[in-house]
């Protein structure tokens, strides 16, 4: 039993709450959505996954054959920005819970390249879910929406507070998510929908395959995707960036608690991190932990990882990309109402993550060889 589990977790009330219930996970083949799907399946829920890309060839936790998750869920291929497709899926499902993780662009670079598509999916996609649920005779117990700390914009003071900090996100991704947050609250206040919004920090862990953009997955690709390791890249303009980091397993715990607690209806929460760190500090720790792990397998590669260190790169500028220097969330409200606290420290979380990626890339190399 984990030392920081809440009373509801320790007694098994949270686990029992989801057993036999019908749950819809949008964006379920993505990083957090796939972990949420796995957790719900393990709790005995009947899970339907709605995603625009459900191919068996897609890199996803749901396509890990050793887990056999595809055979334990219902899969619906669809676009969240298609109102008819969303309404059809939600009307047919008789869902007790809807968990929304679908997003067109989960990084600011892609959002700037495709602003209309980003707004259509990340704002109107949420409205499509809410409208579909509003028209049901029997409404879901909870409608969860995954949001982001970016809705706050540049940080003043020590941390963002959901009760006090103004919403000043102005980037394309930030603005689209901010609008979705507002509509979730609107549909609760005006139409009585049981929404709950969670503004999340940088979530990391196994099976995040966005290796071109996200910091830790990109670092894993540099360390393990080729015969010789490369130093994880640190963009020069990110040297002064500070971010919150939380392991995905803790993230899933928080979401399950939010959907479980009735008093969370209509509320917005920040998801507290296990560690607030600068980008250089985080990457240095990735190198150190990878070195520690690799010593047990390949001493030469371990020494190469340590010798390479971090590779500092100059990023070609994009005037539409507005990077926030510091992002830190105050999670007191979430702890006060649900009792949630992270149980996985940064070192342990990185160790789990690195071991998983190491295995993934080695297995991929064996298959291709």
DSSP state of 123: I
pLDDT averaged over the chain?
93
Model confidence over 304-350: pLDDT tens digits?
Answer: 999 999 998 876 655 555 678 999 999 999 999 999 999 999 999 99
Q: May I ask the CATH architecture of the domain 7-201+248-273+324-343?
A: 3-Layer(aba) Sandwich (3.40)
Model confidence over 255-284: pLDDT tens digits?
Answer: 999 999 999 999 999 998 999 999 999 999
| pLDDT at residue 114, as a whole number | 83
- Mean pLDDT score, 4-27: 96
Give the residue from 87, 179, 99, 85 showing the smallest Cα distance to 131: 87
The structural domains of the chain, with segments of one domain joined by +, span 7-201+248-273+324-343
| pLDDT at residue 368, as a whole number | 62
CA distances from 39 to 214, 224, 277, 351 (A): 23, 27, 28, 21
Give the residue from 138, 133, 111, 150 showing the smallest Cα distance to 184: 133
Measured distance CA(346)–CA(277) in Å, rounded: 10
Measured distance CA(260)–CA(255) in Å, rounded: 8
Give the side-chain half-sphere CA count within 13 A for 57: 0
| pLDDT at residue 1, as a whole number | 44
| pLDDT at residue 333, as a whole number | 98
User: Can you state the percent helix, strand and coil of the chain, rounding each to 5?
Assistant: 45, 15, 35
pTM equals 0.95
Measured distance CA(345)–CA(245) in Å, rounded: 10
Measured distance CA(119)–CA(180) in Å, rounded: 9
| pLDDT at residue 320, as a whole number | 53
Q: How many residues belong to the chain?
A: 369
The residues, ordered by sequence, that sit 6+ positions from 324 with a Cβ below 8 Å of its Cβ are: 150, 153, 154, 155, 241
pLDDT band at 112 (very low <50, low <70, confident <90, very high): confident
Model confidence over 205-246: pLDDT tens digits?
Answer: 999 999 988 999 999 999 999 999 999 999 877 899 999 999
Please answer whether residues 116 and 106 qualify as being in contact, where contact means their C-beta atoms are separated by less than 8 angstroms. Answer: no
Model confidence over 159-208: pLDDT tens digits?
Answer: 999 999 999 988 889 999 999 999 999 999 999 999 999 999 999 999 99
- Mean pLDDT score, 145-167: 95
| pLDDT at residue 104, as a whole number | 79
Measured distance CA(359)–CA(218) in Å, rounded: 16
The residues, ordered by sequence, that sit 6+ positions from 351 with a Cβ below 8 Å of its Cβ are: 289, 292, 293
| pLDDT at residue 212, as a whole number | 87
- Mean pLDDT score, 74-86: 97
Strand partners, 244: 276
pLDDT band at 369 (very low <50, low <70, confident <90, very high): low
Measured distance CA(199)–CA(244) in Å, rounded: 12
| pLDDT at residue 367, as a whole number | 62
Q: Which H helix or E strand runs over 117?
A: helix 115-119
Encode 206-270 in three state secondary structure.
CCCCCCCCCHHHHHHHHHHCCCCCCCCEEEHHHCCCEEEEEEHHHHHHHHHHHHHCHHHCCEEEE
Measured distance CA(139)–CA(261) in Å, rounded: 17
| pLDDT at residue 318, as a whole number | 57
Q: Which residue has the higher pLDDT, 316 or 112?
A: 112
Measured distance CA(281)–CA(171) in Å, rounded: 26
At CA 357, angle to CA 203 and CA 207, rounded to 5? 45
Burial-class residue 178 by CB neighbours within 10 Å (0-12, 13-18, 19+). Answer: buried
């Amino acid at each position: 039993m984990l030392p920081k589990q809440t009373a509801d977790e320790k007694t098994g009330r949270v686990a029992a709450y989801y057993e036999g219930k019908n749950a819809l996970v949008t964006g379920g083949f993505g990083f957090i959505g796939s972990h949420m799907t796995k957790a719900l399946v393990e709790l005995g829920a009947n899970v339907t996954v709605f995603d625009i890309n459900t191919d068996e060839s897609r890199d996803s936790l749901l396509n890990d054959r050793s887990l056999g998750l595809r055979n334990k869920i219902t899969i619906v291929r669809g676009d969240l920005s298609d109102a008819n497709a969303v309404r059809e899926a939600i009307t047919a499902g008789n869902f007790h819970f809807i968990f929304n993780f679908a997003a067109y662009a989960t990084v600011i670079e892609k959002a700037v390249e495709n602003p209309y598509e980003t707004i259509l999916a990340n704002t109107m996609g949420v409205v499509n879910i809410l409208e579909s649920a509003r028209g049901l005779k029997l409404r879901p117990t909870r409608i969860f929406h995954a949001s982001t700390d970016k809705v706050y914009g540049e940080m003043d003071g020590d941390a963002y507070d959901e009760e006090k900090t103004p919403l000043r996100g102005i980037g394309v991704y930030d603005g689209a998510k901010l609008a979705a947050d507002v509509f979730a609250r609107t549909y609760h206040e005006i139409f009585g929908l049981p929404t709950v919004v969670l503004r999340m920090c940088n979530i990391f862990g196994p099976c995040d395959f966005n290796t071109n953009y996200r910091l830790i997955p990109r670092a894993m690709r540099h360390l393990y995707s080729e015969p010789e390791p490369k130093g994880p890249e640190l963009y020069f303009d990110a040297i002064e960036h500070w971010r919150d980091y939380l392991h995905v397993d803790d993230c899933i715990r928080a979401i399950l608690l939010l959907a479980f607690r009735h008093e969370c209806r209509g509320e917005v929460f920040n998801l507290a991190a296990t560690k607030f760190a600068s980008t250089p500090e985080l990457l240095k720790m990735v190198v150190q932990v990878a070195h520690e792990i690799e010593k047990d397998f390949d001493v030469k590669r371990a020494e190469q990882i340590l010798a390479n260190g971090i590779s500092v790169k100059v990023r070609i500028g994009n005037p539409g990309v507005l990077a926030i220097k510091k992002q830190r969330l105050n999670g007191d409200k979430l702890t006060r109402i649900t009792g949630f606290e992270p149980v996985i420290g940064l070192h342990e979380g990185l160790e789990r993550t690195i071991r998983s990626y190491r295995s993934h890339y080695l297995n991929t190399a064996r298959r291709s060889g």
